[in-house]
Structure 1
């Protein structure tokens, strides 16, 4: 049985997710860690650096900075963070937690279209 150790409010599409009674949904364990990793990257400003960066080598440097930042989360096994940057609209982040196994999340960084 998995304990609900890391609990957080669920954020979906940048907004707080509410139930029919306007009470916030909660997330826990792996999903909470994945959400924290996603928000860590977004708040760091590294995702924004990708929008203006067209140089492939300099983009690779930003991806390395992202991996190093994610490595600072003590709930993740060092060396297991992998970024999939093959899709031009988002980055997929895979990592292994010490307690709950694999996490997977995406960070959308495509410029909004009109």
Structure 2
């Protein structure tokens, strides 16, 4: 199978370098995961979670985030689940069209 998904590895807004000081590359499902993370960060929806203290206020924001993530055409529609964890992080589960079920924790 030809790997059509390749990207540079970015962590905390900066490139990640390997020991030979070349920028690390991501491939396959890791590219989709990084793109989902950036889509969420750039959506501006996380700001709404900061002020929420109860589940009734958090649930609509998670739905909005799921709808935002669902716009990625590499994911199967209706399979995105975003969970707000007790440590104030997000866990994301989605079915990709090419790589199957993917889970990202601590986003």
Asked if TM exceeds 0.5, the reply is: yes
Structure 1 gaps, min length 5: 109-114
- Structure 1 runs of 4+ aligned residues shifted over 6 Å read none
Q: Normalized against structure 1, the TM-score is what?
A: 0.84
Partner of 2:37: 38
Partner of 1:69: 68
More divergent stretch after superposition (30-39 vs 48-57): 48-57
Partner of 1:96: 95
Q: Normalized against structure 2, the TM-score is what?
A: 0.88
The CA RMSD over aligned residues, in Å, is: 1.6
Correspondences of 1:80-91 after superposition (within 5 Å) = 80-91=79-90
1:96–1:102: 8 Å Cα contact kept in structure 2?
yes
Aligned partners of 1:86 and 1:101: how far apart in 2?
A: 23
Structure 2 gaps, min length 5: none
Partner of 2:18: 19
1:6–1:32: 8 Å Cα contact kept in structure 2?
yes
